[in-house]
Amino acid sequence: MDHFVYRGGALHAEDVALATIAEHVGTPFYCYAAATLRRHYRVFRDALAGVDSQVFYALKANSNLAVVALLAAEGAGADVVSEGEIRRALAAGVPPERIVFSGVGKSESEIAFALDSRIHQFNVESEPELIVLSRLAAARQVTADIAIRINPDVDAATHAKITTGKRENKFGIAWPYAREVYRRAAALPAIAVRGIAVHIGSQLTDLGPFEAAFRIVADAVRMLRQDGHRIDRLDFGGGLGVPYGEEAPPSPAAYGAAVKRIAGQLGCRLMFEPGRLLVANAGILVTRVIYVKKSDDRTFVIVDAAMNDLIRPTLYEAKHTVVTVRERPAGAESSRVDVVGPVCETGDYLALDHPLPTVHAGELLAIRTAGAYGAVMASSYNSRPIVPEVLVSAGRYSVVRSRPSYRDMLSGESIPDWARSEASR
């Protein structure tokens, strides 16, 4: 259930008509349903009942402060991959002891900031990173708790650009070579080896790859304990898929059951980093039709949202369901159309060959399942203002990121005097 439903012939977010928001905010805009965010978090949390566990929300999916704060209030920690995300998590009220720092390219300044912030854990992805972390922690006379991210060489059977657990991917340290890295880590000053981390990809729709990776991790726990390491944390990452259309991913309950069966008796705290699962279906992108353009064999519905607002269809060949905000009667005739934006790129589309009833200029459309990797990946390409974000709860809504003015967009740039003088010659 995503809390975007038709009422009285109009699509609502919880108890607020989307047309009302569009009238006050303008289009395009992202809209998130607080009830969906809370529900998805609770369903995932409850699927892990009976084991010692903690959920760390992956900010990369949607780092809006209001979204992070809402999930933090539910008890979520934060999985972050940059200093900026650490700062966002802290600003949203996530305690530092509930922050895990992942990422393959942590800079020295980012590591230093994380150490000074006293975060919970570093998920280390390389030996050079480990050495830098040890040096910086020792200089501060603090101890950094770490898990080493192992690469289990498991094919997640997902899109090539979002698979992360194969040997050729840049992430983690290949197992069993990582066993030697653990030995070296234990000998370094200011480092406390606490766990194992693994993450094999995003938008997985089959439990098989998860189970294969979990079994490798379980075997690694036993081997590392035999080597004398204290392993009491297992970070299983995220990656459980969501239904964008025809997909039928496993339920959180089935996922939780697999985790408990394979790792429930290892005596470790189990850590999870869901992102898309919590926020994707909690968000939609609302856009307005500018023109309907017909050619011999195609109909283009040109809207005011574009690839710079939602890049997933162009970047990942992702398919999002597009619906009209004004409800059509059951059985209304539809045709196949391309929903495209105004950006000057052939790749600027939101949906291709998509069934849609007849629409007209000025009408509102909604792109569903857009709460993850939507606004967070938006840009100002073609000098288009960044899309605003709106959070709805019951009958209330608030703009939680405003649309910048053109003056705002230009204010950070400057023209050197010499450039003006040379251009005038």
Identify the CA nearest to 272 among candidates 423, 420, 56.
Answer: 56
Range list of H helices, 177-284? 178-187, 207-226, 252-263, 276-279
Contacts of 41 (CB under 8 A, 6+ apart): 55, 57, 71, 74, 75, 76, 278
What's the start-to-end Cα distance of the chain, in Å? 64
Query: What's the CA gap between 233 and 43, in Å, rounded?
Result: 22
State the amino acid at position 188 in one-letter form.
L
Q: Residue 105: CB partners within 8 Å, gap ≥ 6?
A: none
Q: Are 192 and 144 in contact (CB under 8 A)?
A: yes
d(CA 19, CA 10): 8
β-pair partners for 397: 392
Instruction: Give catalytic status of residue 268 as yes or no.
Output: no
Q: How far is CA 282 from CA 13, 34, 360, 371, in A?
A: 10, 7, 27, 6
**Taking a C-beta distance cutoff of 8 angstroms, is the pair 126, 148 a contact?**
no
Half-sphere exposure in the Cβ direction for 124 (13 Å, CA) = 25
Q: Cα 103 vs. chain centroid, distance in angstroms?
A: 14
Q: Phi and psi for 48 in degrees, rounded to 5?
A: -105, 10
Q: Are strands 191-197 and 364-367 parallel, antiparallel or unpaired?
A: unpaired
Exposure of 341 in the CB half-sphere (CA atoms within 13 A)? 27
Which residue out of 344, 383, 414, 425 is catalytically annotated?
344
Q: Which amino acid is at 14?
A: E
Query: 217 near 179, Cβ under 8 Å?
Result: no
Q: What share of the chain is helix, strand, coil (3-state, %, to 5)?
A: 35, 25, 40
Which residues are designated catalytic?
A: 344
